[in-house]
Amino acid sequence: MAVSIASWPWERMGNYKYALYLPLVFEAYRATVPLRQNVCLHILIVTVLRVGVYQMWQMASRFLPLVEGLRIWPQGLSYRQVDREYDCDNPQLLQALLLHAGYKCFGLFENMPFWSTKGLIVILMLHVGPAEMFYYLIHRALHRPYFFNKYHKLHHESVSPEPSTAGVSSFLEQIWMSMVVGIAIVGSAVLGGASLFNLYTYLLIFECLRCYGHSGIEIIPASLFKTFPYLRYLLYTPSYHALHHACQDSNYCLFIPLYDYIGNTLNSRTKAFHVESRNHVTARVPDFIFLLHPVDFTSALHAWFLFRAYASRPYTLNIFLLPFVPLVVVAAFAFLIWGKVFRSWNYYIRNNYLQVWTVPRFGFMYFLPLARNNINSLIEKAILDADNIGVKVFSLAALNKNEALNGGGSLFVTKYPNLRIRVCHGNTLTAAVIIKEIPVHVKEVFLTGATSKLGRAIALYLCRMQIRVLMLTASRKRFEAIAAEAPPNVRNNLVQVTKYQAGMSCKVNIFSSNSSLFEGN
């Protein structure tokens, strides 16, 4: 089946598409010319740097402590958008292949000097003039119904743009985008002004501005345009492009809004929306906070604000991540000195706003005696901060709820009895769901897994509600330990049983996943 011009030629190759770089690698390795004249090597290096620009912008735009309060749209990303943007590096591959073809077929970029003043002026004029105008006209045409539905709709399916969105589009679009880049790059080479500095600088600035416009964070202060009003015609902003994604009938320019003014396609809300994006107070209080911590050095590299491609997939040890492990080790020990709990992720479920906060401590640190008080102080401060801003529920995850560390959170609840926030963890949440499902008229229940964390919480709650709990366990010692935690006046509601037949007469049976008749002595 022929590949349409909307889809990428290497779409079905998956990660094997990177084999298309091999001819470039081979030629760069075999070249006998001086390093400055090794065109294939420079194409590879500038491509790697362009991908690096994407990576840095991606990390910055997702790191909440850095961008909180600057986000243009409050909603988080959908999983569909993350999956759709997995191959956002396709444009870099395409343009590397086109640069290589230009070099092989026409001898472009041969014998380039490092610097060319003439080339710098030419490339700037070619971009501001024909390149920007060509992009404006093509982009405006792409929003005609026929072209939009067949070629441009994919790009606009990302409701909350982020830097990777800049690289998500149809093959035809990127051919046109490569022509825009080629007007300046190839044009300066044809006119005799090509240089290494111009090649690197133009491609990297081009990539940086593309990521900046799709970043979803408004970093340009409104006061800048008040001080320099004419700058508004020469520099677009993320809010300018966010309006384009929202309205789709205006703000078509690449980097220079001048052509929108000339073509009368500037969105009337552009100026006001920029001010709103910088001055709005979004800080909606989260309904729920989930407090976690990195497990080990390799899993930490799957954090959602680091490597997008790995964060969007289940954790597996990947050989390409191993070179970054030493950096994580250094960061881990830096966290011991300066680390504080930080907001690492936010998302919406229906109309509920949830945030993930992270304790900057790795799993092994929770078992160091000297670290216990420090970790508890971090958790305690996080709970108090959440309580002060009005969060409803605070859930402790992984080792943050370790019984040996803080009694599953009871340490903080006991220390601060007037907390408005509900401190819980996975077991208590599960227990709450189970208890809520029990009919109000029930007076007796049969409980398996009775001495597990989950079973213990259910048993103690139900006995306080004057419900008789038949606890299935062979361990008298564990049963008595749980019974001792119950208030004396309701302790008799806890009854040890050792056979399943004891629950035959009960209308409500609760089977814990941790249940076992013989749970030890």
Q: What is the mean pLDDT of residues 270-292?
A: 84
Average pLDDT over residues 60-70: 86
Tens of pLDDT, residue by residue over 469-486, are 999 888 899 999 999 989
Q: Is residue 101 classed exposed, middle or buried when 0-12, 13-18 and 19+ CB atoms within 10 A define those classes? A: exposed
Q: Which residues is 352 bridged to in the sheet?
A: 349
* Span 70-103, pLDDT tens digits: 888 876 677 788 888 888 999 999 999 999 999 9
Tokens at 233, concatenated: 């015609």
> Considering all CA atoms of the chain, what is the largest pairwise distance in Å, rounded to the nearest integer?
94
> What pLDDT, on a 0 to 100 scale, did the predictor assign at position 159?
79
| Residue 521, pLDDT above cutoff 50 | no
Whether the per-residue pLDDT at 519 is higher than 70: the answer is no
Pairing status of strand 494-497 against strand 468-472: parallel
Question: Is the confidence at residue 22, as pLDDT, over 80?
Answer: yes
Spatial neighbors of 177 by CB under 8 A, at least 6 apart, are 91, 135, 169
Q: Quote the pLDDT of residue 141.
A: 95
What count of residues does the chain have? 521
- What is the mean predicted confidence (pLDDT) over 429-452? 84
Of 185, 217, 221, 220, nearest to 204 by C-alpha is: 185
Distance in angstroms (rounded) separating the CA atoms of residues 487 and 464: 8
pLDDT at 204: 97
Please state, in angstroms and rounded to a whole number, the distance separating the CA atoms of residues 234 and 298: 44
pTM of the shown model: 0.82
Predicted confidence band of residue 283 (pLDDT cuts 50, 70, 90): low
**Alpha helices (runs of H) in 160-237, residue ranges in sequence order:** 171-190, 196-214, 222-227
The rounded mean pLDDT for the chain is: 88
What pLDDT, on a 0 to 100 scale, did the predictor assign at position 278?
Answer: 80
Please tell me the distance from the alpha carbon of residue 278 to that of residue 309, in angstroms, as a whole number. 30
Q: pLDDT by residue (tens digit) across 199-242? A: 999 999 999 999 999 998 999 998 999 999 999 999 999 999 99
| pLDDT (average), residues 392-421 | 91
Q: Any residues with CB less than 8 A from the CB of 163 and at least 6 apart, and which?
A: 54, 57, 58, 61, 210, 211, 214, 215
Residues 335-348 have pLDDT tens digits of 888 889 999 888 77
Out of 366-380, 391-405, 430-444, which region has the weakest mean confidence (pLDDT)?
430-444
Helix (H, G, I), strand (E, B) or coil at 199: helix
Burial 189-227 (b: 16+ CB within 10 A, else e): beeebbbbebbeebbeebbbbbbbbbbbbbebebeebee
513 confidence band (pLDDT: 50, 70, 90): low
Can you name the residues that pair with 471 across neighbouring β-strands? 447, 496
Does residue 387 have a pLDDT over 60? yes
Asked whether 76 and 160 are in contact (CB, 8 A), the reply is yes
Q: What is the per-residue pLDDT for 68?
A: 78
Neighbours of 64 (CB within 10 A): 19
Above pLDDT 90, what percent of the chain? 53
